Amino acid sequence: THLICIVPEYFNLDITKPVEVNLVVSCCGKRGEPRQFTYQP
């Protein structure tokens, strides 16, 4: 399966190295499994 979404900017725009976070999609009272996402500087 696929999900297309818009990921917001990382809160700190001055990162100098990649930052890993976990994204969780919520819809209609359900939550998906956390997915690793890496913000790039």
Most confident range (mean pLDDT) of 1-5, 12-16, 21-25, 27-31 is 12-16
CB 31 within 8 A of CB 24: yes
Domain holding 39, by residue range, is 1-41
The number of domains in the chain is: 1
Position 1 pLDDT exceeds 80: no
Q: Which pLDDT band, with edges at 50, 70 and 90, does 3 fall under?
A: confident
Position 4 pLDDT exceeds 80: yes
The average confidence (pLDDT) of the chain is: 92
Q: Is this model's pTM higher than 0.75 or not?
A: no
What contacts 39, CB < 8 A, 6 or more positions away? 10, 15, 18, 19, 20, 21
| CA separation, residue 17 to residues 27, 34, 38, 40 (Å) | 31, 22, 10, 7
What is the secondary structure of 9-26 as a DSSP string?
A: PPS-TT--S-EEEEE--E
